[in-house]
Amino acid sequence: MKKRIVLLPGDGIGKEVMESAKEVLTAIAEEYNHTFSFETHEIGGAAIDLYGTPLPDPTVEACKQADAVLLGAVGGPKWDQNLSHLRPERGLLGIRKALDLYANLRPIKGFKNLLHASPLKEEVVAGSDLLIVRELTGGIYFGTPSERRENGQVVVDTLSYTRYEIERIVDKAFQAARSRRGRLASVDKANVLESSKVWREVVEEKKAQYPDVEVEHVLVDAAAMKLITNPSHFDVIVTENMFGDILSDEASVLTGSLGMLPSASLNESGVGLYEPVHGSAPDIAGKGIANPTAMILSAALMLRYSFELEEEAKLIENAVQSALDSGYHTADLQVPNGRLVGTKVMTRLIVDYIKTQNASKCIASCYY
């Protein structure tokens, strides 16, 4: 398979973890005889420094031509005082919009060796393995700004969805559930909101097309509770933009390790932007200690969702699992009796596993 991948390393540790993802993808290409070509472009603070804008036109053009885009992270104190249109984060919002990325997918999985770092009891979080599918381009975040205030005394935010916008995200979630454990929780506030009632209608209509998927409707307040009392109850959660924003951040702390969480944002043609959930971590940038796994797992999502290379994606995930199971970890993770390594060695361990598909060889061939 031939694929053109645009790399947007961005700022801070974004550049470091992007190198790791590239190494892992190169190993996958060698193992499976794929041709992945990489093209690197600037975004965020790095783009402001070079081009005076967080999202230069050549970056947008390259992303539009690409089969998939990998993004590191943007931002940092250097640009914190900039005017709003010159903030690095503008680059991120701009590229999501330019690519019309309407579906945000965040898998959250508890890794055995890291469960003690969860703010929840280990027995509660053990076995958690869920995917949040969030609608990204509609809802209350996109109401018309001019409608929001009337003489300063009344304030209005408008939550609007077209039926089509709901249908396409619900379809995406059903498909994801089908490829996982076949369970879908649709989260809404149908006891209050009209938009949620339509959301629920659409899910009910779509159900007939996916008879192999078991569906439940959960009110958002109950979902927020269940996520921390019984997270392993969930397989796939689908919800609208604002509920998804809040629930995905709540769920991201379940596993206690920000450096482990990947994400995918997809458009209708299957082109996706894949990025870690974490930011540019200016406090550790340049020290060689960043955890590369969220970025590497984002590359695995790219193989799964944009290229339909499930076996290759699984191999990367198994490689990450194997490194962790062998006790290796970066400084952001506390692993009792673990073996502390930096970004490069963690990457090397994962690459070695991909090449040998054997944890013990992978450990033996590593250098410290």
Ligand X SMILES: NC(=O)c1ccc[n+]([C@@H]2O[C@H](COP(=O)([O-])OP(=O)(O)OC[C@H]3O[C@@H](n4cnc5c(N)ncnc54)[C@H](O)[C@@H]3O)[C@@H](O)[C@H]2O)c1
Provide the minimum distance between the beta carbon of 26 and ligand X in the complex, in angstroms, as a whole number. 20
Q: Is 325 in the active site?
A: no
Contacts with ligand X, residue ranges (CB under 6 A): 13, 73-76, 89, 92, 258-259, 275, 278-284, 290-291, 294, 330, 332
Name the residue nearer to ligand X (CB basis): 284 or 302.
Answer: 284
Name the residue nearer to ligand X (CB basis): 48 or 294.
Answer: 294
Provide the minimum distance between the beta carbon of 13 and ligand X in the complex, in angstroms, as a whole number. 6
Q: Is 361 in the active site?
A: no
Name the residue nearer to ligand X (CB basis): 62 or 295.
Answer: 295
Q: What are phi and psi of 270, to 5 degrees?
A: 90, -5
Catalytic option among 245, 332, 344, 355:
245
Q: How far is CA 190 from CA 112, 137, 233, 251, in A?
A: 36, 20, 21, 22
Q: Are strands 262-266 and 103-109 parallel, antiparallel or unpaired?
A: antiparallel
Name the residue nearer to ligand X (CB basis): 107 or 259.
Answer: 259
Catalytic option among 97, 141, 287, 325:
141
Q: Is 141 in the active site?
A: yes
Provide the minimum distance between the beta carbon of 367 and ligand X in the complex, in angstroms, as a whole number. 21
Catalytic option among 22, 172, 189, 206:
189
Name the residue nearer to ligand X (CB basis): 75 or 231.
Answer: 75
Q: Is 353 in the active site?
A: no
Q: Is 67 in the active site?
A: no
Name the residue nearer to ligand X (CB basis): 186 or 252.
Answer: 252
Provide the minimum distance between the beta carbon of 23 and ligand X in the complex, in angstroms, as a whole number. 16
Provide the minimum distance between the beta carbon of 303 and ligand X in the complex, in angstroms, as a whole number. 20
Which amino acid appears at position 93 of this protein? L
Q: How far is CA 277 from CA 32, 52, 107, 236, in A?
A: 28, 26, 10, 18
Provide the minimum distance between the beta carbon of 55 and ligand X in the complex, in angstroms, as a whole number. 13
Angle, alpha carbons 194-197-201 (nearest 5°): 145
Provide the minimum distance between the beta carbon of 329 and ligand X in the complex, in angstroms, as a whole number. 10
Q: Which residues are catalytic?
A: 141, 189, 221, 245, 249
